[in-house]
Amino acid sequence: MKIAALAWCLAILALSGCASVTLKPVDFSWSYESVLTADAAGYVRAEPKTIAFDASELFRAETKDPAAAGKTVRIIRSRDGYYFITSPGFRHVYIFTGDNTTLTLHKKVLIAEEGMEKPFFNRRDQGIELVADGRVYLLGKKGIVSGGKK
């Protein structure tokens, strides 16, 4: 009887180790934005390596010119895992999702018809803050949550 009980206990312990592991809740946000300069091939890389991608398509989408060499890209990641990307001169903030070595455009948010001169991001509890040309915007995965006033 004791041997059977011991066998059951060992079986339960062994099988519990086979269960899938889920970690939650997860905060995917970055505390600070990354400011990355594109190399001659248009690639931007963060050190320590948090992200690397070819920014040429982003510049093509925004300016119709894929030349990214020497230009800076500003990027930050939200708590729920969305990437917010813009650059000086851009009219938009691009919101991407990341999966299997791909960033996929989730939403393109118009901020300034004339382009932003010196945009930068901050992480806030409510979302991502964009400061551009004296205006402050609170952004979420659906776009502008609030702000835009001087």
Band (145; pLDDT cuts 50, 70, 90) = very high
User: Does 129 fall in a domain?
Assistant: yes
- 10 occurs within a structural domain: no
Tokens of 150: 């001087």
Closest residue by Cα to residue 112 from 67, 57, 62: 62
Does residue 37 carry a pLDDT above 80? yes
Lowest-confidence segment of 15-29, 68-82, 88-102 by average pLDDT? 15-29
Domain presence at residue 16: no
Query: Considering its fold, how many domains does the chain have in total?
Result: 1
Q: Is 132 domain-assigned?
A: yes
In a domain, 87, yes or no: yes
3 lies in a domain? no
Tell me, what's the pLDDT at 49? 61
Structural domain span for residue 39: 23-147
Residue at 52 is within a domain: yes
